[in-house]
Amino acid sequence: MSDSPPGAGAAVEPMALRAWRASRAGSWLPTLVALAVVAGVWQLVALHNPSVLPTVPQVFREIADHPGLFARDTGATLRETAVGALVAGDGAFLLAVAMSELPLVERAIMPLAVALNVTPVVAIAPALTLILGFGAAPRYVVTGIVVFFPFLINCLVGLRSVDPEVLEVARSLNASRAEVLWRLRIPSSLPLLFAAARICLPLAVVGAVVAEFSTSGSSSGLGSQIVIAEQYAELPTIFASILLLAAIGIALTLATFALERWLLGWHRAARGLGVR
């Protein structure tokens, strides 16, 4: 916003431009232009280096030619990501509640959680495959491990983010711990919980793909497809899979945004006011 007096801008700015700015289409336009530029550059590079990069139409044709196959693999990876993240997220939330209520639990579990977090998942995945077999199990576990720690930490911080003066008011009313948890701590933690979900879901996709890399021989999934296609140097298949992985990440992020907008209108609005 400029700080010129109201009305001054109206004379300078044509009506049509203002209408366009106000419309929602306007807010998407920069994104679309940027996408078009990237696609254009890609196409140029691909045309000059056919052995390294497939052209944009080639990638889309690849998907269109094998819809069933890609649908199956996308579905598998999406399922691994969603189920792994959901189970691990719920577990992390429950553990965070236990930790915030019982310091003993925090002292017992936190070092383990940190150790698990600093161990690279890429290194754990093959071992898990040997232990759990080449099925879907290690994929869910790896995805879960990736999500677990960031979610745990964010939940814990969120549960502790209640305004201390609000806690004093609750204490002056002799509110029970359960009441404080249910009516104050959990609602206060929701904004951080969603922030965590936005970080963790793309990470979960990474986890699923890493797990698929080490179980590629026997199962479906976009990560498996990439490994197999790599052996035959099938560039369009590789890039089609990458494109679909990006689509999964975007879909999950948008779903989180939508849910957050619906549940946490109060928080977004309050934050908006704070910035002004």
Partner 1 sequence: MGSQSEQRGGSARGPGLGLVVEGITKSFGSGRDRALAIADLSVEVPRGRFATVIGPSGCGKSTLLKVVAGLAEADAGTISLFGDAPEQARANKRLGYVPQRPALLPWRTVLENVRFPFQVNRRAGTLATRRPEEVLTSVGLGEVLGRRPHELSGGMQQRVAIARAFAFEPSLLVMDEPFSALDELTRESLRHQLLALWEADQKTVLFVTHSVTEAVVLSDLVIVMSGPPGRVHSVVPVELPRPRGATLEGSEEVQELERVVRRELSAAVAAGEQAQ
> Where does this chain bind partner 1 (CB under 8 A)?
163, 165-166, 168-176, 179, 183-184, 187, 190, 264, 266-267, 269-270, 273
Least Cβ distance, residue 172 to partner 1 (angstroms): 4
Q: Which is nearer to partner 1, 107 or 177 (CB)?
A: 177
Closer to partner 1 by CB, 23 or 176: give it: 176
CB nearer to partner 1: pick between 180 and 228: 180
Count of CB atoms situated within 10 Å of the CB of 98: 13
For the bound state, the minimum distance from the C-beta of residue 270 to partner 1, rounded and expressed in Å, comes to 4
Smallest distance from partner 1 to CB 267, Å: 7
**Beta carbon nearer to partner 1, 90 or 168:** 168
Residue 31 or 172: which CB sits closer to partner 1?
A: 172
What DSSP designation does 183 have?
I
Residue owning tokens 């720690």: 149
- Least CB distance from residue 51 to partner 1, whole Å? 57
Q: What is the dihedral of CA 30, 34, 36, 42, to 10 degrees?
A: 180
Residue 109 identity? I
Quote the crossing angle between the two packed helices 67-101 and 186-213, to the nearest 10°: 140
Least Å distance, CB 193 to partner 1, is 13
* Distance, CA of 249 to CA of 167 (rounded, Å): 38
| Helices vs. strands in the chain: H and E counts, helices first | 14, 0
What letter would DSSP give residue 199?
H
Axis-axis angle for helices 186-213, 222-231 (nearest 10):
20
